[in-house]
């Protein structure tokens, strides 16, 4: 299961957001380090197509695609040198696929800010600096061990790694995150195992007040968007307090509250969808009277590898995939009609899966 790590300075709304994700009462206290250990919550990926397929097949089980969020303890200035939770924070964040950085974008004198005034750019740069320092330390340590040997032996693999690490060092010393560095494909492979923090894709979550949900962006959100645009990063507006309240409601009550607030979708749904897009994730389906299920795959994967997501036996013994596009199924009204119209396709192992494909895999047992 893919993972996103929720990070941010203390008291920016991180634990309140996590409450909404898990519907658990994780401590959201008004002081630093209220969250000590990482907590994990699994969310369903909102997909209206699953509702339609559920009505069509009436299965015994409906299994949505899911995503794991890890709430990582609040970071403070000096974490890379052991301040606050220090390296414990940094080790937890290395395990995630993407970073969701919660940034406080509202004024409230009743909620303590660990750095004093509300300033989203300062908050981001504090975290970025800590991640950069941590990555740079790894780069320097590794270069010290491999650089001289690579230059002496002229080993091809070692030279590629040194080239990648030098690029990384130059960027980090200029406070450029590694996600913005143009590594070659070979270099990317060589540095993947280091799990560099600044290489991970990031989404900024602008936590605003309830009164600002249906209003134009305030000055803090505007500043955050301008900052994020420089790195081609996305900003999602959200009120963590409202999301926590929405999580306690039924579907009908949730829709009524969203309408009352003057917004179409919840910020959490927007975040989940944006995270999927950020990681280049798509969905294919398997359907039947016993189960309708959504499967997550990486854009560009072929049919054989997608079959392997279900079970390695499906991949190893792959024969063919019977494929119907979701749109063709809905237009025709049934699988039988799809077949009559000649819209059922037989695809081989190299077929590139498309978002919304409905698949039945044939394989040797």
Question: Can you give 312-339 as a three-state secondary structure string?
Answer: HHHHHCEEEEEEEEHHHHHHHCCHHHHH
Sequence-ordered list of residues with C-beta below 8 angstroms from that of 134, at least 6 positions apart, any chain: 80, 90, 197
pLDDT at 200 exceeding the cut of 50: yes
CA quadruple 56, 57, 63, 65: dihedral sign:
negative
Interval 283-293 mean pLDDT: 96
What pLDDT does residue 87 have?
Answer: 54
What pLDDT does residue 10 have?
Answer: 81
pLDDT at 38 exceeding the cut of 70: no
Banded model confidence at residue 35, pLDDT cuts 50, 70, 90? very low
The answer to whether 285 touches 294, Cβ cutoff 8 Å, is yes
Banded model confidence at residue 359, pLDDT cuts 50, 70, 90? very high
What pLDDT does residue 76 have?
Answer: 57
Banded model confidence at residue 117, pLDDT cuts 50, 70, 90? confident
The answer to whether 104 touches 118, Cβ cutoff 8 Å, is yes
- The segment with the largest mean pLDDT, out of 32-41, 149-158, 283-292, is 283-292
Q: How many Å from the N-terminal Cα to the C-terminal Cα in the chain?
A: 25
Interval 237-243 mean pLDDT: 92
**pLDDT higher for 157 or 323?**
323
Contacts 24+ apart (CB under 8 A), 137-140: 137/80, 138/194, 138/196, 139/165, 139/168, 139/169, 139/172, 140/169
**Burial degree of 32 (CB within 10 A; 0-12, 13-18, 19+):** middle
The answer to whether 1 touches 67, Cβ cutoff 8 Å, is yes
Distance of CA 338 to the CA centre of its chain: 35
**pLDDT higher for 337 or 214?**
337
For the chain, give the percent of residues with pLDDT over 70.
88
**pLDDT higher for 297 or 110?**
297
Banded model confidence at residue 2, pLDDT cuts 50, 70, 90? confident
Interval 8-36 mean pLDDT: 65
Banded model confidence at residue 116, pLDDT cuts 50, 70, 90? low
Cα–Cα distance measured from residue 43 to residue 123, given in angstroms and rounded to the nearest whole number: 27
pLDDT at 23 exceeding the cut of 80: no
pLDDT at 107 exceeding the cut of 90: no
- The segment with the largest mean pLDDT, out of 10-19, 38-47, 218-227, is 218-227
The answer to whether 208 touches 238, Cβ cutoff 8 Å, is yes
pTM score, whole prediction: 0.83
Best CA proximity match to 268, nearest among 70, 20, 11, 8: 20
What pLDDT does residue 95 have?
Answer: 84
pLDDT at 121 exceeding the cut of 60: yes
Interval 14-19 mean pLDDT: 84
What pLDDT does residue 30 have?
Answer: 41
Q: 136: which DSSP letter?
A: H
Banded model confidence at residue 63, pLDDT cuts 50, 70, 90? very high
Place of tokens 């709304």: 13
pLDDT at 24 exceeding the cut of 90: no
pLDDT at 1 exceeding the cut of 80: no
Cα–Cα distance measured from residue 61 to residue 58, given in angstroms and rounded to the nearest whole number: 9
Which secondary structure element, helix H or strand E, spans residue 293, and what is its range? strand 291-298
Q: In what order do the strands lie in the sheet with 98-104?
A: 39-44, 66-71, 3-7, 98-104, 202-207, 234-238
What pLDDT does residue 42 have?
Answer: 83
What is the chain's mean pLDDT, rounded?
87
């Amino acid at each position: 299961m893919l993972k996103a790590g929720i990070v941010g300075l203390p008291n920016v709304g991180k634990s309140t957001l996590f409450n909404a994700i898990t519907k658990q009462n994780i401590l959201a206290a008004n002081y630093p380090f209220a969250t000590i250990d990482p907590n994990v919550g699994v969310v369903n990926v909102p997909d209206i197509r699953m509702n339609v397929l559920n009505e069509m097949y009436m299965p015994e089980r409906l299994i949505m695609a899911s995503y794991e969020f890890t709430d990582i303890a609040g970071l403070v200035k000096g974490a890379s040198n052991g301040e606050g939770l220090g390296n414990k924070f940094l080790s937890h964040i290395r395990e995630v696929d993407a970073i969701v950085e919660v940034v406080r974008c509202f004024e409230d004198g009743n909620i303590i800010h660990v750095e004093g005034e509300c300033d989203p750019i300062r908050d981001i740069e504090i975290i970025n600096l800590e991640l950069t320092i941590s990555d740079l330390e790894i780069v320097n340590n590794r270069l010290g061990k491999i650089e001289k040997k690579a230059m002496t032996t002229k080993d091809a693999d070692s030279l590629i790694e040194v080239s990648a690490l030098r690029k990384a060092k130059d960027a980090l010393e200029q406070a450029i995150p590694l996600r913005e560095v143009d590594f070659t494909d070979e270099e990317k492979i060589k540095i993947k195992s280091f799990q560099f923090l600044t290489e991970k894709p990031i989404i900024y979550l602008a936590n605003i007040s309830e009164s600002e949900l249906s209003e134009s962006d305030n000055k803090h959100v505007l500043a955050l968007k301008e900052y994020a645009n420089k790195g081609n990063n996305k900003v999602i507006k959200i009120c963590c307090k409202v999301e926590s309240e929405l999580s306690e409601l039924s579907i009908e009550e949730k829709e009524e509250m969203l309408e009352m607030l003057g917004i179409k979708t919840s910020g959490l749904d927007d975040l989940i969808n944006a995270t999927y897009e950020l990681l280049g994730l798509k969905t294919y389906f398997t359907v039947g009277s016993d189960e309708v299920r959504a499967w997550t795959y990486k854009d560009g994967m072929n049919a054989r590898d997608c079959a392997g997501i279900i079970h390695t036996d499906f991949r190893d013994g792959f024969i063919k995939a019977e494929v119907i596009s979701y749109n063709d199924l809905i237009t025709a009204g049934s699988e039988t009609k799809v077949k009559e119209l000649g819209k059922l396709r037989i695809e081989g192992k190299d077929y590139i899966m498309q978002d919304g494909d409905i698949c039945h895999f044939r394989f040797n047992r």
